Homo-oligomer: A and B are copies of this chain.
């Protein structure tokens, strides 16, 4: 008797439910969980991870996938679903359940330790947890298999088909040209007026301003929320329940704005998956790099543009009465595009950002290849910050403890941010061609044309193409670093009169 794809969808739906429960446990851990709940949360996450893994690697699912494949003659949606599920299934089968459970438990404890370590700038609090994580990730690479560097096995989770070798070549070019640009800018000796930033920015007003921007951008608050967390992130409980978090700095109102816009970019992608793909692997981006092209694209190409600030500067003035009466949109534009090598990746400007990524990439690769010890991270970090960014790291909280990713056992993730920058610029060249009045619309806070374009060309397709295929189909060219470098060089030459 012919097997039915409905049965597959039923099984996948139940697995999606379990993953949603897991996503909620993780979201709650970073937003509302009381601190003493952390211990039990580690067990809860480990147990539910193991169950999700067990259900997904159930041989019954494998048999069904094989039968469906042999049966053939599926409609195109079912065909994609089958192919993508098989890819995931075969990969997941390589990881035994106890390994998945141990990794989840280790991650969750590492996250608790990282919170404490970062708050106290106490690297030794985090080090043993990270040692365990690196050990488990090396094991994971062996279980998954790889060619070349074992780091490739981890990169595959975030950017299918990408390798450390390819990234090395891309980063080599990016690093060189971006360093030159930063040097040229430094040599001008020009700096925007920053004196007016030196005040205390009311936290509630900052929050309210982000909520206003999110509403304008089109974030559906009936199908999502914004909360606060130590490290901003987006999580999807369902395509109708997508949550972002943000972080407020009372000394700088622009950080929370970029952070909220960045996470909005992720959230919009998730909210735009199609109803018919709901609770299946197709309701996913094909790669994290493409996901970051959306978040980094909204954050930088839109949120750091002059038309954007022509609209929002008067509104900012209303939110902070008396704080910036004399400030023009052009002044805000200069401030949000200040180029200055600095300590914190998430606050880095566009010219230095990828340099933060490159050093993390180098450290991760060395760790996974066994060429660097976890204990040596702080020293390596500080040395690289000095070399690439000419910055002295005052403490580990603002150094190697700043990012949550390693606590989440997410190594191979950072390169996605740089790829996201590249993809975004290459895609936006076409967006600007397709929407000739894009910048007029942005100046009126009308983001609908852009949202529609992104939904039609990218979001709604889910995982039906790879990131490379999307970029190629949209731009007619292979992904390349040229559009990003051109964008940077044009924008900043003008800003700094190079």
Task: Decide if the interface of chain A is mainly helix, strand, loop or mixed.
Answer: helix
Which residues of chain B are near A238, meaning CB under 8 Å? 37, 39-41, 44
Q: Please tell me if the beta carbons of A241 and B47 are within 8 angstroms of each other in the complex.
A: no
Instruction: Please measure, in the bound complex, the distance between the C-alpha atom of A221 and the C-alpha atom of B44, giving whole angstroms.
Output: 21
Q: Work out how many copies of this chain go into the complex.
A: 2
Smallest Cβ distance from A82 to chain B, in angstroms? 22
8 A Cβ contacts from A206-249 to B = 220-225, 227, 237-241, 243
Given known contacts A34-B223, A35-B222, is B40 in contact with A240 (CB within 8 Å)? yes
Smallest Cβ distance from A88 to chain B, in angstroms? 19
Given known contacts A25-B21, A28-B28, is B43 in contact with A279 (CB within 8 Å)? yes
A122 interface residue per 8 A CB criterion: no
A51 interface residue per 8 A CB criterion: yes
8 A Cβ contacts from A1-33 to B = 13-14, 17-18, 20-22, 24-25, 28, 32-33
Which residues of chain B are near A144, meaning CB under 8 Å? none
Smallest Cβ distance from A434 to chain B, in angstroms? 30
Which of B32, B44, B237 lies in contact with A20, CB distance below 8 A?
A: B44
| CB pairs A–B below 8 angstroms (25 shown) | A13-B43, A13-B47, A17-B48, A20-B44, A21-B48, A24-B28, A32-B32, A32-B225, A32-B227, A33-B237, A33-B241, A34-B222, A34-B223, A34-B241, A36-B222, A36-B223, A37-B240, A37-B241, A39-B238, A39-B240, A40-B237, A40-B239, A41-B237, A41-B241, A43-B279
Residues of A within 8 A of B (CB): 13-14, 17-18, 20-22, 24-25, 28, 32-37, 39-41, 43-44, 46-48, 51, 220-225, 227, 237-241, 243, 278-279
